Structure 1
Amino acid sequence: MTKHTIETVTFKLNDSMSGDEFAKAAEAITDFAQKQDGFVARHLSCSDDGLWVEHVEWETLEAAQAAASKIGSEPALETCMKAIDGRSVVLHHTTLEISVN
């Protein structure tokens, strides 16, 4: 098995958008990610207390970093980016060890 990189981001939203509105708007992030070299998969979930967890699988750490360097300047993602409480964002890159579908 190829050891892909998993990008895990946790965050909360500002009060400017509901969770349902954010989930719909966040489809733009999927569209963006799918166009990036090295993209494999994306999962977005939310806990009952409003903590969002995003897992993005990339072929390499370099692919994840390249996509991250573009995300802030992508006009189609402006609505999503403004809805996220920047102080709450925590980002981790890990190496995928086991994957079962």
Structure 2
Amino acid sequence: MTKHAIETVTFKLVDGISREAIAKDAEAITDFARKQAGFISRRLSCSDDGLWIEHIEWETLDAAKAAAAQIGKEPTLATCMKAIDGPSVVLHHTTLEISVN
């Protein structure tokens, strides 16, 4: 059985973007992700110091990488992408070992 892949992205926002605005705009990413092959789930959280952490579960690493390659090309995500401080973005793909719901 193939283990699922977890995509973890951390980022900060550009100055002047509120938590409420990015949370609303980030719904477009959920819509995008749901349409991608292999998508399972998505969570987005924020620390008190403004570090956003996104976890997306994919059926395979290939599915995660394919979606990551397309996200910057998707016009419906332009507003959300402009709100993210590009140099702050860190992306990791890992293998899911334990999941408890």
Fold in common (TM above 0.5): yes
The gaps in structure 2 that reach 5 residues or longer are: none
2: distance between equivalents of 1:16 and 1:49? 15
How far 1:2 moved relative to its partner? Answer: 4.7
The gaps in structure 1 that reach 5 residues or longer are: none
Report what 1:78 is aligned to.
78
State the identity %. Answer: 76
TM-score, length basis structure 2: 0.96
Report what 2:4 is aligned to.
4
SS in 2 for 1:82: helix
Runs ≥4 in structure 1, deviation > 2 angstroms?
A: none
Superposed CA RMSD in Å reads 1.0
Report what 1:49 is aligned to.
49
TM-score, length basis structure 1: 0.96
2: distance between equivalents of 1:8 and 1:29? 14
Report what 2:90 is aligned to.
90
Q: What count of residue pairs does the alignment treat as equivalent?
A: 101
Contact 2:2 2:60 in 1 (8 A): no
SS in 2 for 1:3: coil
